[in-house]
């Protein structure tokens, strides 16, 4: 199937599902109400994740042979979306949600043998093989990604934009390395996110038609992203019966995939480290994420969305460039860690930065 037809079909199908699911959300009270941490106006339907899931399932069943790996992934993602929807409706305890995430990840890790078996030549001393640590490490990566995207979903458009950056990166890496399966799935999800992003940002739509992704969608994004990233870095795990195997297919270096989800990962680890340092639960919600900091500095939601999306796109471009030119992995990892350290230092001194920005704005307004 032509890749552009896949993109258009996914976009149209997602738009239709959004229209169908919004009335259902009102009937079942699957809506998000404003509170201390959520300062939107009025109740908003939490159906973005369900529309994304429905589009993915229908499209994958229509264009992919349903081998056991695909079936197990769909079963696992269905369970994860169900837990997310229940969390959206009834606010499930964080511990129960974590166990559910582990169970969903275990289905593809143990059942479909989707594992990260090596990390590449990160230190210039040879490929790092994980051996018996492959399964627990993959489980950790999947759960970390699900929570990273869940935590970053704090302002209109941000989750959708960062997810589209990740799926665009996956598609481009798959295209560069002649991997058809990740390319098709990434295209489906990218197209499915377009109607959601339009509604979530609220461009010329009435408030009743605005929608949120919900935990079901944020966890699905993280789960699916890692599943495809494993496919990119371990193409030998793609069954030959799915597609005609080409000798041109090569693996993406594991260090390259960090750049695709860099912003959610950095934000999550920084926030969790700060909470632990304060003696709080690392999963305790707060208003100290990157987008909150930008808004406290005086930026509007749209400006914050544009800035963070621009940062994510820049990091993606860096990662793609490094992979295209085959920059040594030790250099790529060093640059990634240097940016992360810079990010941590910025957060440590963020209030000084915010104060300076506000002072500059005050000076400009008085001139």
Cβ atoms of residues 80 and 223 within 8 Å: yes
List Cα–Cα distances, 148 to 101, 262, 269, 273, 362, in angstroms.
13, 10, 8, 13, 35
For residue 132, count other CB atoms closer than 10 A to its CB. Answer: 7
Q: Retrieve residue 175's tokens.
A: 């295209």
User: What pLDDT band is residue 189 in, cutting at 50, 70 and 90?
Assistant: very high
Between 125 and 9, where is the model more confident? 9
179 burial via Cβ count (<10 Å: 0-12, 13-18, 19+):
buried
On the question of pLDDT at 137 being above 60, the answer is yes
User: What pLDDT band is residue 246 in, cutting at 50, 70 and 90?
Assistant: low
- Which pLDDT tens digit goes with each residue over 298-334? 788 888 899 999 999 999 999 999 999 999 999 999 9
283 burial via Cβ count (<10 Å: 0-12, 13-18, 19+):
middle
3-class SS of residue 31: strand
Residue with tokens 């230190």: 123
Residues 342 and 340: their CA atoms lie apart, in Å, by 5
Residue with tokens 């990604």: 145
- Please give the pLDDT value at position 241: 46
Pick the range with the lowest mean pLDDT from 130-139, 142-151, 241-250, 337-346: 241-250
Q: Retrieve residue 63's tokens.
A: 């264009």
Between 41 and 163, where is the model more confident? 163
- Please give the pLDDT value at position 217: 92
What's the whole-number mean pLDDT along residues 19-36? 83
Find residue 44's DSSP bridge partners.
32
Between 154 and 226, where is the model more confident? 226
Pick the range with the lowest mean pLDDT from 121-125, 230-234, 345-349, 359-363: 359-363
What's the whole-number mean pLDDT along residues 287-292? 73
- Please give the pLDDT value at position 208: 45
Rounded to a whole number of angstroms, the CA Rg of the chain reads 20
Model's pTM, two decimal places? 0.90
- Which pLDDT tens digit goes with each residue over 192-208? 999 999 988 876 555 44
Percent of the chain with pLDDT over 70: 85
SS (H, E, C) 156-173: CCHHHHHHHHHHHHHHHH
């Amino acid at each position: 199937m032509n890749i552009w037809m896949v993109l258009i079909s996914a976009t149209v199908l997602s738009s239709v599902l959004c229209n169908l699911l919004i009335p259902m959300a009102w009937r079942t009270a699957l809506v998000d109400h404003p509170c201390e941490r959520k300062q939107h106006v009025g109740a908003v339907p939490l159906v973005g994740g369900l529309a994304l899931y429905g589009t993915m399932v229908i499209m994958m069943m229509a264009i992919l042979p349903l081998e056991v790996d695909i079936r197990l992934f769909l079963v696992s993602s269905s369970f994860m979306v169900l837990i997310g929807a229940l969390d959206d409706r009834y606010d499930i305890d964080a511990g129960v949600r974590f166990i559910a995430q582990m169970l969903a990840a275990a289905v593809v890790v143990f059942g479909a043998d989707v594992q990260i078996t090596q990390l590449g030549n990160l230190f210039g001393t040879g490929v790092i093989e994980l051996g018996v640590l492959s399964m627990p490490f993959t489980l950790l990566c999947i759960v970390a990604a699900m929570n990273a995207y869940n935590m970053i979903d704090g302002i209109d458009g941000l989750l959708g934009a960062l997810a589209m950056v990740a799926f665009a990166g996956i598609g481009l890496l798959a295209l560069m390395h002649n991997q058809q399966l990740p390319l098709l799935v990434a295209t489906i999800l990218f197209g499915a996110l377009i109607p959601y992003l339009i509604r979530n940002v609220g461009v010329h739509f009435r408030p009743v038609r605005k929608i949120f992704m919900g935990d079901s969608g944020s966890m699905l994004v993280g789960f699916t992203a890692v599943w495809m990233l494993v496919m990119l870095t371990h193409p030998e795990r793609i069954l030959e019966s799915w597609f005609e195997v080409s000798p041109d297919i090569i693996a993406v270096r594991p260090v390259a995939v960090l750049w695709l989800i860099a912003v959610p990962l950095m934000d999550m680890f920084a926030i969790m480290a700060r909470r632990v340092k304060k003696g709080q639960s690392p999963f305790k919600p707060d208003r100290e994420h990157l987008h909150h900091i930008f808004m406290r500095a005086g930026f509007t939601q749209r400006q914050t969305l544009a800035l963070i999306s621009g940062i994510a796109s820049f990091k993606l471009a860096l990662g793609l460039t490094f992979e295209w030119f085959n920059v040594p992995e030790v250099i790529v990892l060093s640059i990634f860690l240097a940016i992360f350290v810079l990010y941590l230092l910025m957060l440590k001194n963020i209030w000084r930065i915010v104060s300076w920005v506000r002072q500059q704005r005050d000076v400009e307004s008085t001139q």
